[in-house]
Every structure is written in structure tokens, then in C-alpha cells.
Structure 1
Amino acid sequence: MSAATRSWSPQGLAARLAGGALRVFLVLAGLFWLLPTLGLLISSFLSPTDLNRGGWWQALSAPSRLTADNYAHLLSNGTITGSLLSTVAITVPATLLVVTLGAFAGYAFAWLEFPGRDWLFLIVVALLVVPVQVALIPVSELFGAIGLFETTAGVVLFHTAFGLPFAVFLLRNFFAEIPRELLEAARLDGAGELRLFTRVVLPLGGPAIASLGIFQFLWVWNDMLVALVFADSAHPPVTVALQQQVRQFGNNIDVLAPGAFLSMVVPLVVFFAFQRQFVTGVMAGAVK
């Protein structure tokens, strides 16, 4: 039976209908997932008077009500603009440190022989189950004693410490799947461990490293608990700054709505910009 005949058979028609229904369902699910984002976006362009009068959907029938005044107020609000800079100052170093240290440690646990390697890796795996809340009080006392409490460096160190166990676990498992013959061939060509790591392991582990970077960036950017406890109260991250604005929601909605949208759109942009690497890393880890 030819391919054209099979496509018009009852089984072929059923497969086409099932595939079409699945596509329609996925499109509807995606639109439903994006609906809150669309609502927040439209709300950020509505005046407080219009928002108090009704929901964001009123702009669909009266687009003339949309205005950019809210973003003008946002840019003139030093607390919100400063909080965005504080968030960047925390998120970027915390992500880079976790990815860099996790890659080195993952390679060491995967391919270097040293005493106690397996036991140390078991300790790293055990640290994955330690909740953040358990460390808040003792780390607060430690940071207070060494002068890191309410500093950007303290928040970065906290996020790095709690992000490293997952990073080491993920990258070690990924690096361990690299063929040993490939590494041995590089060693026979005279490559040292550092050269082997940078020229062979890192390029092959690019998808896993990209996935880790996205996870860490999203976690740190959206964090509020750690920032609320350890960050500088005079220069809080955007999550804390927006939470402070919620206390005066009726007066500051023209700042809160665009600020919340900007806070949310940055992780979305990062995810969609690196979604190919993210999917590749997740699928590679699933296959291996």
C-alpha cells in the first residue's frame, strides 16, 4: 500500500484528526497560559481611574484608554528603577558563580580520582533536600558577625551556596556520560586537565550548562524570601520593592502594574531567547 493510500485509510484519517486535535489543544493551552501576562500588560497601560472602573478587558473594546503614562511614572520612581538594578547585580553574579563552580566540581566528580570522592558526592546529593528556610536564622547570624548581612554580596553568596548542590549533581551526571575514549584520546595528544575541560568537556556539556544557567537565573530573579531577609533594605531587589508597593496598592497601581510586568517579562525573554539550548539540555539529560 502506497503512502498516499495509507494517509486516506481509516487509520491514517484517525491519526491526522488526533494530531490536529492535539495541536489545537496545545495552542489553546499556550494562550490560556499567556492570558495573565496579557492582562498584566494591558493593565500596565491603563490609568488608575480606568482600572478602578473595571477589568483590563475593557481596553479591548476601547483601545483609546491605553496610555504610556504609567511607564513614565515608573521611570520617575527611584525605588523601582533602583530595585531593577539591584536585582541584576544579584542575579548575574549568582548565576555565573553557580555555573562556573558547578562545572568545575561536576568535572572533578565525574573524571578525577581523589580520596573520598564518592562520599563527598553523596554529601552534595544530600544537600539537595535541605530547605532554604532551615538556613535563614544561622546564616543570618553568620552574616551579621562577618558584616555581610543586608549586603548584595551576602545575597549572592546565599544563592550560590544553595544553587551549587543541584548544579554539581546535574553537571556531574551529564559529564559522566561523555565517552571515556574521547577524553583518553585528548590526553594522548598532550592535553592537560584544564585544556581537556575547556576544549572538550565544556563544548559537549553546553546544553546542560545552558539549562542550569536558565534555572538559576529564573530562581534568583524571582526570589523574594532570601531577598526579604538578607538584601539591603535601602536598595531592595524588585520583588521586595513591589511587595512594599502593594501596601499602598490603591495609590501606587500606576507604578505597581508596569513594575510587575517588567519584573516578569525579563525571565520570559531569557527563557525564550535560550529555549533551544534549554530543550536540548533537558532532552539530552532524559536520553542519557
Structure 2
Amino acid sequence: MDNIAGTKSSLTWAVHISVVILVALWLFPTVGLFVSSFRTGDQISSSGWWQALSTQQAQLPAIRVEGDETPTGGAFVIEGELIAGDNTVSAWGTSSRAPQAYEPGDTADLGDGQTLLINEDATFVLTSSETTEGTRLPRVFLTASSPPEFTLDNYREVLTSSTAGAGILQSFINTLTVSIPATVIPILIAAFAAYALAWMEFPGRALLIAAVVGLLVVPLQLALIPLLQFHNTIGIGKGYLGVWMAHTGFGLPLAIYLLRNYMVGLPRDIIENAKVDGASDFQIFVKIILPLSFPALASFAIFQFLWTWNDLLVALVFLGADDESLVLTGRLVNLLGSRGGEWEILATSAFISIAVPLVVFFAMQRYLVRGLLAGSVK
């Protein structure tokens, strides 16, 4: 009964469910990061991104009462606002052991002739029988609710401020400078090599193919320091040329292997007819092979761009960690260390770092499967 037309086997349903789960695991954090990038730091720390559209109620950290003292009727009065914004106080207290001891509008006796009144709109009145100048004013604990709040200030701060944004825009430009050439150069070289290994007869071709396959399993970490020493020896040193060459060398084995498998699967009759008509290998490559191999080229371009964009290790080794040449991943590491409490800055910076890879992936994803399956079916 499982093979009846119009029915789906249990394996098909399992595959569909697995795909849905994988998509959800990828989508939820991305949506959460996007929503968090428009929220304020207080709301991020007090509630999850899925609660961004609802009114939030949370117990705020201790707030020290402060303000200018005014003599009034034999007493000294300080008035002010504890928290700014459209917040509503539901409870408050003067001790961390009883943070909700009073309701809005209640007056608490603090002793020593001091009383404190806190209203629902977070305004307060501190009354003292003696002057409070030179003394430490009390602190309070508020439980308040706030409406949903979204802002573009996070993006303005990250993209325009050299101090608060810590050079995110410069790092964004540096990453583009690394990723685009490091994607284009391997494709150009690998396309020529793949055509030669697929359609040109010469001694040692099988050994070269085996060597390319073997290079796929070589860890790049083993080659970083020797390669940097080689760059210093030949005069390249640290710079964009060195990181482009490094990414090209590490990406060529996969590029050649992927493109060669695709080109081998192209119809032989087309190439043979072109040779009969007098076309050279270069003309066949440029006018026939490259247009037909676009899915494989796009597939590798996606992998290479995502790898170089998200790379940290190669960029640190061949570019360094100074502010002028630091890439986006390195900048985020610095932000995590220096601004770990400012979650809105981290969320905004992280979403900016994944925005370009998302655009590249969705723009070229239709070619991804076609390129990866190249040569698997004859």
C-alpha cells in the first residue's frame, strides 16, 4: 500500500519534518537577532525577543535617589523622576529582600525623619527633617511595566559612531575588501584547471585529480604559519594581497573538485562538434563551458563568500588585529569583550555581519543544489 499513487511513505514524511525542524532551528535565532537589533538595552535584558510586541513587566536594578534639595516649610524636599520614558510602576521597595513592599502612592518611613513617596509614573518625593547634603541618599527597587519600544538609534550608533560603534563600518568595508577578491580569484583559476582536468588529455592527469582530492582534507591551521613565513620571505608580508592569496590557496581544492565534476557531466557531443568546427580549447572554454557551468560556479561562489566573510583566523594571521585592518568577525569579538553588557549594540552589529551573507545566499541559492549534485547522476 505504500507504493500507491498519491500517497507518501513514512520516510518522505520524516524527511519533510526534518527539513522543517532544521529551517526552524536556523530561522528563529535569525529573527530573534533581527528583532533585538531594534530594541533598547533595558528591554533586551528584561525580556525575550518573542515578547517584543507585548507590555513588559520586570523588576529593575536598584536605583539611587538623587536630585536638588529644596527647603519647604521647615523640611527639606527632593523631587524628581526615577526612570525616564513611558513606564508604569506597579510596586516598589527600599530593600532587596522586600522589593515589592509598597504600592504606587504609598509613603515609606525611612527613619531618621525621612519619608519617601513614589507615584505610578515613577516620580518621587523624598522629605527629610534635616538637610541631606553630603549624605548618601537611599536606593529603591522598582517593579515597572513598559510598552513595546523600537528604535533605530542602535544602527545609527553602530554605523556612524567611531567610539560607540567601535569602527563597525570600517570593519564592514574591510571584510568586503577581503571577501570579494577572495571569491573571484579562486573561481577564475579553478575554472581553467577544472576544464583541463575534465576535457584535456595529458600525462599525469589522474594523479593531479587525486592530489586535488587529497588536498581537501588538509587542515588550513597547519599551513598558516609556514605560509605567513613564505609571504614575508617573498616580500608580501601582512596585507590584503597576502590574505587574498591565502584564501585562494585554501579554496582551490574544493573549487577544482566541484567544477571538474560538473564539467565532466556536460554533453560530450557539444564539445566534439565545436572542435570539428575548428574551435580552440580556449574558445570552447569561454563560449560553451563557462555559460553551461554557471550553476557550479555560483554554488562554489556561495561557499567561498560565506567562508571568507565569516573567517576570523586567516584574517588575523595575514592582516593583523589593528583597528584599521580588523575584519567584522574580529570587531565583534572585541565588542563582546569590551561592551558585553550593551546587548543592543552586540545584536545590531551581529545582524549587520550576517545581512550580506543572507542576501548572497538567497540570491543564488537556486543554483546551490544544481551545482552540488553535478556529476552525481549520469
Structure-1-length-normalised TM-score: 0.88
C-alpha distance in structure 2 between counterparts of 1:13 and 1:169, whole Å: 39
Corresponding position: 1:275 with 2:359: no
Structure 1 position 243, deviation (Å): 0.8
Corresponding position: 1:181 with 2:265: no
Corresponding position: 1:59 with 2:52: yes
Corresponding position: 1:145 with 2:233: yes
Letter in 2 for 1:69: D
- Deviation >4 Å, runs of 4+: 11-14, 16-29
CA gap of 1:262–1:179, structure 2 versus 1, over 3 A, is same
Equivalence for 2:327:
237
Higher strand share: 2
1:60-84 per-position Cα deviation (integer Å, ceiling 9, x unaligned): 3147311111001011144110111
Structure 1 position 164, deviation (Å): 0.4
CA gap of 1:76–1:177, structure 2 versus 1, over 3 A, is same
Q: What 5-or-longer segments of structure 1 have no aligned partner?
A: 1-5
* Identity over aligned pairs, percent: 44
Equivalence for 1:196:
284
Structure 1 position 13, deviation (Å): 8.0
Equivalence for 1:106:
194
Equivalence for 1:34:
27
1:110-143 per-position Cα deviation (integer Å, ceiling 9, x unaligned): 1112332222222222211110110111112122
CA gap of 1:208–1:18, structure 2 versus 1, over 3 A, is closer
C-alpha distance in structure 2 between counterparts of 1:250 and 1:283, whole Å: 43
Q: What 5-or-longer segments of structure 2 have no aligned partner?
A: 56-146
Letter in 2 for 1:91: S
Corresponding position: 1:95 with 2:175: no
Structure 1 position 189, deviation (Å): 1.1
> Which structure would you say has the larger RCO, counting Cα contacts within 8 Å and 6 or more residues apart?
1
Task: Tell me the number of residue pairs that the alignment of Structure 1 and Structure 2 aligns.
Answer: 281
Equivalence for 2:170:
82
C-alpha distance in structure 2 between counterparts of 1:128 and 1:24, whole Å: 32
C-alpha distance in structure 1 between counterparts of 2:370 and 2:272, whole Å: 26
Contact kept in structure 1, 2:231 and 2:242, CA below 8 Å: yes
C-alpha distance in structure 1 between counterparts of 2:310 and 2:244, whole Å: 14
Residue among 240, 244, 248 paired with 2:338: 248
Q: Give the secondary-structure state (helix, strand or coil) at the position aligned to 1:113.
A: coil
Q: Give the secondary-structure state (helix, strand or coil) at the position aligned to 1:247.
A: helix
Moved more, 144-153 or 221-230: 144-153
1:198-251 per-position Cα deviation (integer Å, ceiling 9, x unaligned): 111112211111111111111111111111222242321101111111111335
Structure-2-length-normalised TM-score: 0.68
CA gap of 1:284–1:122, structure 2 versus 1, over 3 A, is closer
C-alpha distance in structure 2 between counterparts of 1:13 and 1:124, whole Å: 45
C-alpha distance in structure 2 between counterparts of 1:18 and 1:125, whole Å: 33
Equivalence for 2:355:
265
Corresponding position: 1:70 with 2:63: no
CA gap of 1:172–1:21, structure 2 versus 1, over 3 A, is closer
Structure 1 position 252, deviation (Å): 4.5
Moved more, 95-104 or 56-65: 56-65
- CA RMSD, Structure 1 to Structure 2 (Å): 2.6
Structure 1 position 21, deviation (Å): 8.4
C-alpha distance in structure 1 between counterparts of 2:155 and 2:30, whole Å: 17
Contact kept in structure 1, 2:195 and 2:285, CA below 8 Å: yes
Moved more, 106-115 or 84-93: 106-115
Q: Give the secondary-structure state (helix, strand or coil) at the position aligned to 2:238.
A: coil
1:13-56 per-position Cα deviation (integer Å, ceiling 9, x unaligned): 86499978876764454233200001111111112222222332
CA gap of 1:13–1:167, structure 2 versus 1, over 3 A, is closer
